[in-house]
Structure 1
Amino acid sequence: MRTAFRTLSLPAFLAAGISIATVAQAQTSAPQAADASVTEDVADIVVTAQRRSQSLLTVPLAISALNGDTLQNKGISNSANLATAVPNLQVSSPYGSTQPNFSLRGISVANEYNSNQASPVGVYIDDVYIAARTSHGMGLFDLDRVEVLRGPQGTLFGRNTTGGAINFVTRAPKLEGSNGYFEAGYGNFDTFRAQGAVETTIVEDQVGVRVAGNYEKGDGQIRNVAAGGRDANSVDTLQGRFYLRAKPGNGGLDIKIRAYAGRDRGTQAGVHGLTGPATPGQGFFKVDENRIGDNRTDAWGVAANVALELTPEITLTSITSYDGGKQNLQQAADGSPLDVLDINWRSNFRQFSEEARINYEGEKLKLVGGAFYGWDRTITDNRFNIGSALGPGVNGGFFQHYRQTRRSYAAFLQGDYDLTDKLVLTLGARYTWDRARYSDGFAYLFAGNIGGAETPLASTVPCTGVPGTCAYNPAARYAISGRNNALTGRVALSYTLDSGTLLYASYSRGYRSGAFNGGGYTSSVGITYIDPERVNAYEAGIKGRFLDNALTLSAAGFYYDYSNQQVQDTRPGPVSFLVNAPKSEVYGGEVEATYRVVRGFVINASAGYLSAKYKTLTLQNTDLSGNSLPFAPRWTATLGADWTLFDNGTDSVTFSPVMNYFSRQYFSPFNATNATGTGQINSELQQGGYAKVNASLAWTHGPVQVRGWINNAFNRKIYTYGLDLRGAGFPYNFLIPGTPRTFGVGARYSF
């Protein structure tokens, strides 16, 4: 039965989509199909998923595109909230909204939490790859759109995109007139928000500038019941962006220069560890913690996008960027009034990238090709304070330092060729050379209290023995190198019906480069360079508009042959190893639909089905074959609406509710399995199925809008992340509670 279901699962969602489309097509000719008012103002969403501007419905890829208004209506103010709008997308983190872990169709960093690891879901800002995962936890403001590309993007995006890619596209000056907006709001937890943008055209059609900013500050959302303790999950963020665009003489040269900077200073995420919701007087949205730390992060960068139209068919583009940032995360990881485990995660990031490409737009052939170079560096100084680590009443811990540099070179080419006026063949290939080095690595065991003086006792890196058995050597250093090459690509056939409906089928190969174990600090034996991840992905889909354009529908089914997922394996010592999960199988599908029922009433819905299993995996000498991949719920679904309750031409009132459903998901590759002799209780590391409801009510009068909103309206108590610490010798597991009910009101003025 299971084999039969797996065989049928790839076309299942496609068949469902075709069935809906067929019915819709048949009904279109019926007199009652749609009132003319229903189909007014049906706008195309333009995306650049294939490095050229195309209508979303003509791209043979599974893409979710959210514009700025959609983000606001759905209450998505941070990249960590995107899972509420995209099927088969999960976002998790042990650090709250800092350093989010994106999981697309089950492909994620699994149980890996170190800052040196690359996300298997590539994150981009205006086509610029962002290597540091700490910089992924950005506030979303003044965006044109967010594009989420599901499935490996190994040709045009390429670097570390086994799961997919997320491209945040900011608003660029339009070079006509002036415009802008300002909004401010207030919510519970004494939260104040302000956001705005101003754009002016200095020379009409030639030179324009846009400046945007975002600010939010609020108290902790997870109450701390410890005497005098600070609350967890507070918000304190400030971001700014400057955009200059120039088209000299309104000719073929288009220069875009974007600079940004931002910082976060909120308190750490709440932790349920030694104490939890079952502790008397605590409850779910509370912690009992004597040391609530700060999540201090900074990010900045500048990018130049220069495009030159040589002829109407040929355009040259250069994208040059330099970005940086740092994190200083002070995390009390025991969730108790005791000093059992306090960690200071500190890293400094730098990166440079250059992409040069050429676009050719012929009558039957369209080409995108070019070359890419990327360099990034991470310098890490972590400190792990372990209460009474050396004996009763003797405090101490471990200090860790290393430098990681990575270089990536690639050449790519993709072409779309019209075999007929309706049938298009897509062929693409990318060859990547990755080079990496882990250097200046050392770690040592020390005695000392949290925040006090430290006395080094023994070197643990470099040291291949049991922690504490190698004499302290301040000059000792550890270094290794790694390299790998990869050929990735894409083959697709797409067919457009007379009605405009698109059918497509594709094969894609994705790749995530090899990695160093950033979690090795108790012994150098675990610091190795492991193999890259690879995925062979098969997908079929349908996209189109039906019922006189009242219904917009897309559906896709997929099957992945996934190998070498990079996961953590903690062994007795405790020594942390980064290892490869040899084989996994992933299959499922998604459906997304927008239906304009009548004028002023639009239903938005999506659903995702996912089966993601390890075919071969052993951790801690325990066979986990057949277990589910972490952060891969079998079902996800969204149902929402935009309902204009009143509109007299001057004033309007719109109600926008949305419900999100997620079935059970595990936080660990162990699922509910316990390794023998570890004292693990891995059944704690999961979240059962749940639904959350968000809603907003907006009154608009000309350029003024007043909006009230509520998120997690029914105050659902859920965990968003969990980590096994029992296997590492601690008497508890590490769990992060989600956000409680939040609500507020805001006003916006546009000009």
Structure 2
Amino acid sequence: MASLAFSRALLVALAVSTSTAALAQETGNAPAESGAADGDIVVTAQRREQSLLDVPLAVTALGGDTLAERGITNSAQLGDAVPNLQINSPYGDTQPNFSLRGIGVANEYNSNQASPVGVYLDDVYLAPRTSHGMGLFDLDRIEVLRGPQGTLFGRNTTGGAINFITKKPGLSGTDGYIQLGYANFDTITAQGAAEATLAEDVAGLRLAVNYAKGDGQIKNVFPGGRDAASVDSLQGRASLRVKPTETLDIVLRAYGGRDRGTQAAVHGLGAFRTGLGFFETNENRIGENRTDAWGFSANIALELSDRLSLTSITSYDGGKQDLQQAADGSPLDLLDINWRSKYRQFSQELRANYEGDGVTFVGGLFYGWDRNITDNRFNLPLPPAGGFFQHYRQVRKSYAIFGQADIDLADRLVLTIGARYTKDKSRYDDAFAYLFVGGVDDPDTPIATTVPCAGVAGTCPYDPAARFALADTNNALTGRVALSYSFDDGPLVYASYNRGYRAGAVNGGGYTSSAGIGYIEPERVNAYEAGIKGRAGGRLLTYAASAFYYDYSNQQLQDTRAGPVSFLVNAPSSEVYGLEVETTLRPTDGFRVNASLGWLHSKYKELTLQGADLSGNQLPFAPKLTAQLGFEWDMIDVAGGTLTFAPNMAYSSRQYYSPFNTIDAPGTPQVNSELQQGANAKVNASLSWSTDALTVRLFANNLFDRKTHGYGLDLRGAGFPFNFLVPAAPRTYGVSLRYGF
């Protein structure tokens, strides 16, 4: 009943805000002037600086202050602030899977797959999904671009792109901040940044650090067992900016971080759930999610003239993961997995920007290389105790040439046309897997080779020299055509066509046989969108709305079958369409209302898995309705500061975790109806007192302690007597103190 009441209240508020937008337009209230002025949010969604209201794309931009007010401290929490964005993972906050408008990695959990939502750090593409689970600190803003970005961003951006943009030295004076916090689960947080100008207007250095350590959020009742979902992370970043002349601007960035928190909790074997609360587990082997990430980049911008500039972005990044996962959620050793991978990547982009009379052009060249070396160990209930060991190396190379032009056809009427040609090469080699005897804590004793082996596991004699290799090449032409019109003293309206692409992939989950290891087809999306954005009543109301239709082919899915055997397959045909609305209302000074609504229809037009016809099923991680509503109220000035109350609510309708939805494959023990999360609403709130330099903030996330799952996987169909479900975080609350200087 509480969820229903929240839902109704939220929808009423959204209806009022969007109706207000329509009324303001009808009465002819003029918005403030366009351009990056008067407090407008400036974004680089089209690889050049523009006011958010001048960009003919569906973009959500979140500044650092907004993230703090909404209690968003990790990239895995962004779904609470962006319409039609879902974030899930079988590993908790580690290796988050982003789904935008229903397009994501679906039920794929292997580390070698590229996200179809491209993730960027300061315009640098991050290939490994493990590095996407970053803590959010000292950011200028986050830009979330919904819809295919196959022209200017390009690589694997079928669903969209998320760009995390850090603060860079301002080259004048010194500044920084220190923030300390304490929360339940004995969680201590600390972050800070300090900036020094080494030479006025010429050189500056900015250092930032982020630390969090806390007990597990899910209680483990197993005697002496560790609690699940603990926090133990440390991250740092250094940015050096040098501007020796007015036309040359160089930013060098280095970052590093590590995470040592315990694994996400699992609701698994039902017999051991008896008597447990939702936020409890009974597990003898709560492992650690150990991850490391680091990187270096150089962004060099050179102005050749008032109209032409060049930008070079060079990066080299690396990291590793060692995820110890007890997947059975019981005190028995039924399924214990050690996911281990090491990553390296290099990228180089050369870009030219031109602004002429009636024409604006962005174009360039891109090269990307990434490598994944994986060593996974699967302990299964085999007689005698044993399991499978898997090793492979995956190397991908991507080459692209791209360009996009905005052409003024008439006063305030702009044609956008762009194209990108991409060539992706991938090689999967040095691959082998074997069946072994040995317990979870014992050394392996290999008894049979399973990769390469096309037969049933255990039928090929062990050969330590056996190796398996595959290679694949994809070519793609993607692009964008859009028409936009800016009304005189009014909104921007646009209509567009975008084509998106994600390269073909190889099955990283194939370890029981080489029969299931092969490259599958690239994903492709033809996306049609129309939108409007602007202001009404001066700065009273800011709004953006869009409607879209996707023709989506060859979505890459993981099909886990009895054995256990995993196959990576293509869903031949799907369709997605929906609506999005975002509004900000400022009825008085000191009171701001933010609301957004996402409505989504998704279905498989053609899909058969394990003999089950799934045509008409909803895509996984694609709820029909998502919405957010919040306000910031500067209630009173007291003791030289301002007391601000900032609650917000995020609503999601039912979502499925599997393409099967509620259908079970014939002749299997599947119970796929368990792999879903019903409609729910979660409330966050903060109360802060602020002066120019000091902020004291009380906060609570998931205030009403809603009990929800964040991920589910069919393991009954794979031969285990349970399904794998991961509970989302319980209520957290605490206090923080921030001092700026």
TM class by shorter-chain length?
over 0.9
**1:480 & 1:16 partners in 2: Cα distance?**
56
User: 1:468 maps to which residue?
Assistant: 458
**1:28 & 1:542 partners in 2: Cα distance?**
16
SS in 1 for 2:131: helix
Counterpart among 445, 454, 457 of residue 455 in structure 1:
445
**1:196 & 1:590 partners in 2: Cα distance?**
35
Q: 1:90-105, aligned counterparts within 5 Å?
A: 90-105=86-101
SS in 2 for 1:82: helix
User: Which letter maps to 1:93?
Assistant: S
1:622 deviation in Å?
A: 1.0
What do residues 47-68 of structure 1 show as CA deviations (whole Å, max 9, x unaligned)? 0000000000000000000000
1:259 deviation in Å?
A: 0.4
Question: After the TM superposition, which of the residue ranges 45-54 and 697-706 deviates more from structure 2?
Answer: 697-706
**1:268 & 1:336 partners in 2: Cα distance?**
14
Distance change >3 Å, CA 556–CA 20, structure 1 → 2:
farther
User: 2:723 maps to which residue?
Assistant: 733
Q: 1:403-552, aligned counterparts within 5 Å?
A: 403-552=393-542
**1:262 paired to 2:257:** yes
1:22 deviation in Å?
A: 4.0
**1:134 & 1:708 partners in 2: Cα distance?**
31
**1:345 paired to 2:335:** no
Distance change >3 Å, CA 357–CA 16, structure 1 → 2:
farther
Distance change >3 Å, CA 279–CA 356, structure 1 → 2:
same
**1:666 & 1:193 partners in 2: Cα distance?**
34
The answer to whether the 8 A contact 1:27-1:547 is kept is no
User: Which letter maps to 1:359?
Assistant: N
**1:361 paired to 2:355:** yes
User: Which letter maps to 1:23?
Assistant: L
**1:700 & 1:569 partners in 2: Cα distance?**
52
What do residues 322-378 of structure 1 show as CA deviations (whole Å, max 9, x unaligned)? 000000000000000000000000000000000001000112100000000000000
1:621 deviation in Å?
A: 1.5
**1:334 & 1:165 partners in 2: Cα distance?**
34
**2:684 & 2:560 partners in 1: Cα distance?**
39
What do residues 153-174 of structure 1 show as CA deviations (whole Å, max 9, x unaligned)? 0000000000000000000001
What do residues 294-342 of structure 1 show as CA deviations (whole Å, max 9, x unaligned)? 0000000000000100001000000000000000000000000000000
The answer to whether the 8 A contact 1:150-1:163 is kept is yes
User: Which letter maps to 1:89?
Assistant: L
**1:680 & 1:116 partners in 2: Cα distance?**
26
1:279 deviation in Å?
A: 2.8
1:702 deviation in Å?
A: 3.0
**2:652 & 2:115 partners in 1: Cα distance?**
22
User: 1:24 maps to which residue?
Assistant: 24
SS in 1 for 2:446: strand
**2:638 & 2:453 partners in 1: Cα distance?**
75
**1:184 paired to 2:180:** yes
The answer to whether the 8 A contact 2:661-2:672 is kept is yes
**2:163 & 2:59 partners in 1: Cα distance?**
11
Distance change >3 Å, CA 519–CA 19, structure 1 → 2:
same
1:16 deviation in Å?
A: 11
Unpaired segments ≥5 residues, structure 1: 1-14, 35-40
**2:672 & 2:26 partners in 1: Cα distance?**
51
User: Which letter maps to 2:739?
Assistant: Y
1:676 deviation in Å?
A: 1.0
User: Which letter maps to 1:25?
Assistant: Q
**1:289 paired to 2:283:** yes
User: 1:322 maps to which residue?
Assistant: 316
**2:166 & 2:101 partners in 1: Cα distance?**
26
User: 2:594 maps to which residue?
Assistant: 604
User: Which letter maps to 2:196?
Assistant: T
- Identical-pair percentage: 68
SS in 1 for 2:717: helix
Distance change >3 Å, CA 599–CA 17, structure 1 → 2:
closer
SS in 2 for 1:735: strand
User: 1:331 maps to which residue?
Assistant: 325
Question: After the TM superposition, which of the residue ranges 293-302 and 695-704 deviates more from structure 2?
Answer: 695-704
User: 2:617 maps to which residue?
Assistant: 627
1:25 deviation in Å?
A: 2.8
**1:614 & 1:425 partners in 2: Cα distance?**
33
Counterpart among 695, 700, 703 of residue 685 in structure 2:
695
1:219 deviation in Å?
A: 0.1
**1:108 paired to 2:104:** yes
**1:569 & 1:194 partners in 2: Cα distance?**
42
**1:382 & 1:258 partners in 2: Cα distance?**
32
User: 1:647 maps to which residue?
Assistant: 637
Counterpart among 242, 255, 272 of residue 267 in structure 2:
272
SS in 1 for 2:73: coil
Unpaired segments ≥5 residues, structure 2: 1-14
What do residues 155-208 of structure 1 show as CA deviations (whole Å, max 9, x unaligned)? 000000000000000000011111000000000000000000000111111100
**2:16 & 2:526 partners in 1: Cα distance?**
24
SS in 2 for 1:595: strand
The answer to whether the 8 A contact 1:42-1:549 is kept is no
User: Which letter maps to 1:85?
Assistant: A
Distance change >3 Å, CA 131–CA 138, structure 1 → 2:
same
User: 1:239 maps to which residue?
Assistant: 235
**1:122 & 1:176 partners in 2: Cα distance?**
34
- What RMSD in Å do the two structures reach over aligned CA positions? 1.7
Counterpart among 105, 114, 121 of residue 118 in structure 1:
114
Q: How many residues matched?
A: 724
User: 1:212 maps to which residue?
Assistant: 208
**1:465 & 1:264 partners in 2: Cα distance?**
39
**1:132 paired to 2:128:** yes
TM superposition score normalised by structure 1: 0.95
1:570 deviation in Å?
A: 2.5
SS in 1 for 2:667: coil
SS in 2 for 1:269: coil
The answer to whether the 8 A contact 2:273-2:282 is kept is no
User: Which letter maps to 1:422?
Assistant: R
The answer to whether the 8 A contact 1:275-1:288 is kept is no
What do residues 430-488 of structure 1 show as CA deviations (whole Å, max 9, x unaligned)? 00000000000000000001121211010000000000000000000000001110000
User: 1:377 maps to which residue?
Assistant: 371
Distance change >3 Å, CA 29–CA 359, structure 1 → 2:
closer
**2:585 & 2:125 partners in 1: Cα distance?**
34
The answer to whether the 8 A contact 1:197-1:211 is kept is yes
Q: 1:151-190, aligned counterparts within 5 Å?
A: 151-190=147-186
1:661 deviation in Å?
A: 0.3
1:42 deviation in Å?
A: 5.5
User: 1:719 maps to which residue?
Assistant: 709
User: Which letter maps to 1:468?
Assistant: G
**2:436 & 2:479 partners in 1: Cα distance?**
49
**1:702 & 1:606 partners in 2: Cα distance?**
30
The answer to whether the 8 A contact 2:21-2:541 is kept is no
SS in 2 for 1:83: helix
**2:159 & 2:325 partners in 1: Cα distance?**
29
**2:327 & 2:426 partners in 1: Cα distance?**
31
**1:313 & 1:451 partners in 2: Cα distance?**
64
User: 2:6 maps to which residue?
Assistant: none
User: Which letter maps to 1:226?
Assistant: F
What do residues 64-111 of structure 1 show as CA deviations (whole Å, max 9, x unaligned)? 000000000000000000000000000000000000000000001011
User: Which letter maps to 1:213?
Assistant: V
The answer to whether the 8 A contact 1:570-1:620 is kept is no
1:19 deviation in Å?
A: 6.6
SS in 2 for 1:245: strand
**1:82 paired to 2:78:** yes
1:43 deviation in Å?
A: 1.1
Question: After the TM superposition, which of the residue ranges 129-138 and 19-28 deviates more from structure 2?
Answer: 19-28
1:27 deviation in Å?
A: 4.2
